[in-house]
Amino acid sequence: MEDGREMIKVLYEDNHLLCVEKPVNMPVQEDSSKDLDLLTACRQYLKEKYSKPGNVYLGLVHRLDRPVGGAMVFAKTSKAAGRLSESIRTDKFSKIYAAVLDGIPPETDGTLIDYLIKDTRTNTVTVTDKAHGKYSCLHYHVMHSEKHRALVRIELETGRSHQIRVQFASRHLPLVNDQRYNPQATGKGQIALWAVQLDFPHPITGENVHLTSLPPHTAPWNGMEEYL
Protein backbone atom coordinates (compact mmCIF):
# COMPACT_ATOMS: atom_id res chain seq x y z
CA MET A 1 0.00 0.00 0.00
CA GLU A 2 1.15 3.53 -0.77
CA ASP A 3 2.53 5.35 2.28
CA GLY A 4 0.47 8.48 2.90
CA ARG A 5 2.09 9.74 6.09
CA GLU A 6 4.05 12.42 4.26
CA MET A 7 0.82 13.66 2.65
CA ILE A 8 -0.77 14.60 5.97
CA LYS A 9 -0.90 18.32 6.78
CA VAL A 10 -2.05 18.66 10.38
CA LEU A 11 -4.15 21.73 11.20
CA TYR A 12 -4.77 20.86 14.86
CA GLU A 13 -4.15 17.84 17.08
CA ASP A 14 -4.65 16.88 20.70
CA ASN A 15 -5.52 13.71 22.62
CA HIS A 16 -9.07 13.69 21.23
CA LEU A 17 -8.91 15.21 17.73
CA LEU A 18 -6.86 15.00 14.56
CA CYS A 19 -7.69 17.85 12.18
CA VAL A 20 -6.03 17.77 8.77
CA GLU A 21 -6.12 19.27 5.29
CA LYS A 22 -7.56 16.74 2.87
CA PRO A 23 -5.60 16.57 -0.41
CA VAL A 24 -7.60 16.87 -3.62
CA ASN A 25 -8.50 13.66 -5.45
CA MET A 26 -7.98 11.49 -2.37
CA PRO A 27 -11.01 9.53 -1.16
CA VAL A 28 -11.90 10.07 2.49
CA GLN A 29 -12.26 6.33 3.03
CA GLU A 30 -11.52 3.24 0.98
CA ASP A 31 -13.57 2.92 -2.19
CA SER A 32 -13.65 0.68 -5.25
CA SER A 33 -10.57 2.40 -6.72
CA LYS A 34 -8.42 0.99 -3.90
CA ASP A 35 -6.42 4.24 -4.00
CA LEU A 36 -4.89 5.40 -0.74
CA ASP A 37 -7.61 7.07 1.33
CA LEU A 38 -7.31 9.82 3.91
CA LEU A 39 -8.54 7.72 6.83
CA THR A 40 -5.85 5.10 6.18
CA ALA A 41 -3.15 7.75 5.70
CA CYS A 42 -4.08 9.42 9.01
CA ARG A 43 -3.96 6.08 10.80
CA GLN A 44 -0.49 5.49 9.36
CA TYR A 45 0.55 8.93 10.60
CA LEU A 46 -0.69 8.24 14.16
CA LYS A 47 0.75 4.74 14.24
CA GLU A 48 4.22 6.02 13.38
CA LYS A 49 4.15 9.24 15.45
CA TYR A 50 3.08 7.49 18.65
CA SER A 51 4.64 4.05 17.92
CA LYS A 52 1.24 2.41 18.37
CA PRO A 53 1.03 -1.37 18.03
CA GLY A 54 -1.90 -2.97 16.23
CA ASN A 55 -4.85 -1.09 14.80
CA VAL A 56 -5.28 2.64 15.42
CA TYR A 57 -8.77 3.97 16.20
CA LEU A 58 -9.83 6.99 14.19
CA GLY A 59 -13.49 8.01 13.93
CA LEU A 60 -14.89 9.42 10.70
CA VAL A 61 -17.64 11.95 11.48
CA HIS A 62 -18.01 13.89 8.21
CA ARG A 63 -16.89 13.64 4.59
CA LEU A 64 -15.70 15.61 1.58
CA ASP A 65 -16.19 14.55 -2.03
CA ARG A 66 -13.10 12.96 -3.54
CA PRO A 67 -12.14 15.91 -5.82
CA VAL A 68 -12.57 18.46 -2.99
CA GLY A 69 -9.76 19.55 -0.67
CA GLY A 70 -9.73 21.37 2.65
CA ALA A 71 -10.30 21.11 6.39
CA MET A 72 -11.46 17.84 7.97
CA VAL A 73 -11.66 16.57 11.53
CA PHE A 74 -11.29 13.00 12.80
CA ALA A 75 -11.94 11.69 16.31
CA LYS A 76 -9.21 9.83 18.17
CA THR A 77 -11.64 8.23 20.61
CA SER A 78 -15.15 6.80 20.36
CA LYS A 79 -16.31 9.32 22.98
CA ALA A 80 -15.05 12.22 20.88
CA ALA A 81 -16.63 10.68 17.76
CA GLY A 82 -20.02 10.43 19.43
CA ARG A 83 -19.96 14.02 20.66
CA LEU A 84 -18.79 15.38 17.30
CA SER A 85 -21.60 13.49 15.56
CA GLU A 86 -24.04 14.99 18.06
CA SER A 87 -22.67 18.49 17.31
CA ILE A 88 -23.31 17.90 13.62
CA ARG A 89 -26.83 16.59 14.31
CA THR A 90 -27.69 19.61 16.47
CA ASP A 91 -26.25 22.19 14.04
CA LYS A 92 -23.32 23.18 16.25
CA PHE A 93 -20.79 22.20 13.58
CA SER A 94 -20.24 25.06 11.11
CA LYS A 95 -18.84 24.32 7.64
CA ILE A 96 -17.68 27.10 5.32
CA TYR A 97 -16.63 26.49 1.72
CA ALA A 98 -15.21 28.57 -1.12
CA ALA A 99 -16.22 27.90 -4.71
CA VAL A 100 -15.74 29.46 -8.14
CA LEU A 101 -18.88 29.42 -10.28
CA ASP A 102 -19.27 29.45 -14.05
CA GLY A 103 -21.63 32.40 -13.93
CA ILE A 104 -22.51 35.21 -11.55
CA PRO A 105 -25.47 34.94 -9.14
CA PRO A 106 -28.12 37.65 -9.56
CA GLU A 107 -27.77 38.63 -5.89
CA THR A 108 -24.64 39.22 -3.81
CA ASP A 109 -26.14 37.33 -0.87
CA GLY A 110 -28.63 34.54 -1.06
CA THR A 111 -30.07 31.32 0.36
CA LEU A 112 -30.65 28.23 -1.78
CA ILE A 113 -33.30 25.72 -0.69
CA ASP A 114 -34.00 22.49 -2.55
CA TYR A 115 -35.00 18.89 -2.01
CA LEU A 116 -32.32 16.51 -3.25
CA ILE A 117 -32.37 12.83 -4.11
CA LYS A 118 -29.35 10.59 -4.74
CA ASP A 119 -29.10 7.78 -7.28
CA THR A 120 -26.67 5.38 -5.63
CA ARG A 121 -26.25 3.42 -8.87
CA THR A 122 -24.76 6.39 -10.71
CA ASN A 123 -23.60 8.38 -7.67
CA THR A 124 -25.43 11.44 -8.91
CA VAL A 125 -27.77 13.82 -7.11
CA THR A 126 -30.72 15.70 -8.59
CA VAL A 127 -33.28 18.24 -7.43
CA THR A 128 -36.72 16.74 -6.84
CA ASP A 129 -39.89 17.56 -4.92
CA LYS A 130 -40.49 17.73 -1.17
CA ALA A 131 -42.17 14.33 -1.07
CA HIS A 132 -39.17 12.46 -2.52
CA GLY A 133 -36.07 14.49 -1.61
CA LYS A 134 -34.17 15.60 1.47
CA TYR A 135 -34.37 19.23 2.58
CA SER A 136 -31.15 21.00 1.59
CA CYS A 137 -30.17 24.57 2.44
CA LEU A 138 -27.08 26.73 2.02
CA HIS A 139 -26.26 30.43 2.29
CA TYR A 140 -23.80 32.18 -0.02
CA HIS A 141 -22.00 35.49 -0.40
CA VAL A 142 -20.28 36.65 -3.60
CA MET A 143 -16.78 37.77 -2.61
CA HIS A 144 -15.57 38.65 -6.12
CA SER A 145 -16.71 38.37 -9.72
CA GLU A 146 -14.98 38.82 -13.06
CA LYS A 147 -15.15 37.46 -16.63
CA HIS A 148 -18.46 35.64 -16.06
CA ARG A 149 -17.16 33.84 -12.98
CA ALA A 150 -17.85 34.41 -9.29
CA LEU A 151 -15.95 33.49 -6.14
CA VAL A 152 -18.49 32.64 -3.44
CA ARG A 153 -18.35 31.90 0.27
CA ILE A 154 -20.81 29.17 1.23
CA GLU A 155 -22.18 28.20 4.62
CA LEU A 156 -23.94 24.87 4.72
CA GLU A 157 -27.07 24.57 6.82
CA THR A 158 -27.45 20.93 5.78
CA GLY A 159 -24.77 18.53 4.60
CA ARG A 160 -26.22 16.47 1.75
CA SER A 161 -24.15 14.52 -0.75
CA HIS A 162 -22.97 16.77 -3.62
CA GLN A 163 -25.21 19.50 -2.19
CA ILE A 164 -23.20 22.59 -3.14
CA ARG A 165 -22.44 21.27 -6.60
CA VAL A 166 -26.04 20.35 -7.42
CA GLN A 167 -27.77 23.38 -5.92
CA PHE A 168 -25.66 25.83 -7.93
CA ALA A 169 -25.70 23.69 -11.09
CA SER A 170 -29.51 23.53 -10.98
CA ARG A 171 -29.51 27.35 -11.24
CA HIS A 172 -27.15 27.33 -14.24
CA LEU A 173 -24.24 28.36 -12.01
CA PRO A 174 -22.16 25.17 -11.97
CA LEU A 175 -18.80 24.97 -10.25
CA VAL A 176 -15.77 25.48 -12.47
CA ASN A 177 -14.26 22.14 -13.56
CA ASP A 178 -17.03 20.05 -12.02
CA GLN A 179 -16.86 17.05 -14.32
CA ARG A 180 -20.14 15.61 -13.04
CA TYR A 181 -22.50 18.60 -13.00
CA ASN A 182 -20.94 21.26 -15.24
CA PRO A 183 -21.59 20.79 -18.98
CA GLN A 184 -18.87 23.38 -19.68
CA ALA A 185 -16.17 21.32 -17.95
CA THR A 186 -13.53 20.17 -20.42
CA GLY A 187 -12.37 17.09 -18.53
CA LYS A 188 -9.25 18.84 -17.29
CA GLY A 189 -8.59 20.92 -14.19
CA GLN A 190 -9.41 20.73 -10.51
CA ILE A 191 -12.94 21.35 -9.26
CA ALA A 192 -13.29 24.83 -7.73
CA LEU A 193 -14.57 23.79 -4.31
CA TRP A 194 -12.62 23.94 -1.04
CA ALA A 195 -13.52 23.44 2.63
CA VAL A 196 -11.99 26.63 4.04
CA GLN A 197 -13.32 26.74 7.61
CA LEU A 198 -14.70 24.50 10.35
CA ASP A 199 -15.98 25.68 13.74
CA PHE A 200 -17.28 23.30 16.38
CA PRO A 201 -17.26 22.77 20.15
CA HIS A 202 -14.40 20.62 21.36
CA PRO A 203 -15.93 17.24 22.25
CA ILE A 204 -14.32 17.19 25.70
CA THR A 205 -13.64 20.79 26.81
CA GLY A 206 -16.53 22.45 24.98
CA GLU A 207 -14.26 25.28 23.82
CA ASN A 208 -14.62 26.42 20.21
CA VAL A 209 -12.24 24.82 17.72
CA HIS A 210 -11.59 27.02 14.68
CA LEU A 211 -9.89 25.50 11.62
CA THR A 212 -8.92 27.24 8.40
CA SER A 213 -7.51 25.89 5.15
CA LEU A 214 -6.92 27.88 1.96
CA PRO A 215 -6.80 26.45 -1.55
CA PRO A 216 -3.47 26.36 -3.42
CA HIS A 217 -2.26 29.23 -5.61
CA THR A 218 -3.02 27.25 -8.74
CA ALA A 219 -5.90 27.03 -11.21
CA PRO A 220 -8.80 27.44 -10.74
CA TRP A 221 -7.92 29.54 -7.68
CA ASN A 222 -5.10 31.67 -9.05
CA GLY A 223 -6.06 35.32 -9.18
CA MET A 224 -8.59 34.84 -6.37
CA GLU A 225 -6.13 34.71 -3.45
CA GLU A 226 -6.64 38.28 -2.25
CA TYR A 227 -10.41 37.77 -1.94
CA LEU A 228 -10.34 34.53 0.06
Residue by residue, DSSP assigns 101-127 as EES--SSSEEEEEEEEEEETTTTEEEE
Q: Is 200 within 8 Å of 208 (Cβ atoms)?
A: yes
Q: How many CB atoms lie within 10 A of CB 121?
A: 6
Q: Look at residue 7 in the predicted model and tell me its pLDDT.
A: 75
Q: Look at residue 1 in the predicted model and tell me its pLDDT.
A: 43
Question: How long, in residues, is the chain?
Answer: 228
Measured distance CA(11)–CA(210) in Å, rounded: 10
CA neighbor of 20 nearest in space, from 48, 40, 50: 40
Q: Number of C-alpha atoms within 13 angstroms, CB side, residue 129? A: 1
Strand, coil or helix: 88: helix
Pick the CATH number of 5-222 from 3.90.1170.50, 3.90.1150.10, 3.30.2350.10, 3.20.20.370: 3.30.2350.10
Is the entire prediction scored with pTM above 0.85? yes
pLDDT values of the chain reduced to their tens digit, one per residue, 228 residues: 455 556 789 999 999 999 999 999 999 998 878 889 999 999 999 999 999 888 899 999 999 999 999 999 999 999 999 999 999 999 999 999 999 999 999 999 999 999 999 999 999 999 999 999 999 999 999 999 998 999 999 999 998 999 999 999 999 999 999 999 999 887 778 999 999 999 999 999 999 999 999 999 998 898 888 898
E strand or H helix at 222: none
| First and final C-alpha spacing in the chain | 36
Q: Look at residue 6 in the predicted model and tell me its pLDDT.
A: 64
E strand or H helix at 5: none
**Angle, CA of 183, 187 and 192, to the nearest 5°:** 75
DSSP-derived secondary structure for 141-182:
EEEEEETTEEEEEEEESS--TTHHHHHHHTTT-PBTT-TTT-
Q: Look at residue 30 in the predicted model and tell me its pLDDT.
A: 86
